[in-house]
Amino acid sequence: MEQPSIIQQILQYLYIKKKNSNAPHNMNIKFMHGMNRISIFMFLIGLILIIFKLLFKH
């Protein structure tokens, strides 16, 4: 079985890409994906804030 790439996994966590139909359905996995989704959003918001501060520095 082929391992999905990092980009594919991120798209699956964010519900942008259709999930693998062969993947096991487990509540622990759903919670893990939810926590990963929150972490990715927080990271992206922080990255945007840092870029914004660097671009518009007085």
Tell me the pLDDT tens digit for each residue of 45-54: 999 999 999 9
pLDDT for 31-40, tens place per residue?
887 888 899 8
Model's pTM, two decimal places? 0.57
Q: Residue 44 domain-assigned?
A: yes
Q: Residue 24 domain-assigned?
A: no
Q: Residue 47 domain-assigned?
A: yes
* Contacts with 56 (C-beta within 8 Å, 6 or more apart), sequence order: none
Q: Residue 55 domain-assigned?
A: yes
49's enclosing H/E stretch is: helix 27-55
Q: Residue 3 domain-assigned?
A: yes
Q: Residue 22 domain-assigned?
A: no
Domain range enclosing 39: 1-16+29-58
Q: And the tokens for 29?
A: 């996995």
Percent residues over pLDDT 90 in the chain: 24
Q: Residue 37 domain-assigned?
A: yes
Looking at the structure of the chain, the number of domains it has is: 1
- Round to whole Å and give the CA distance between 37 and 31: 10
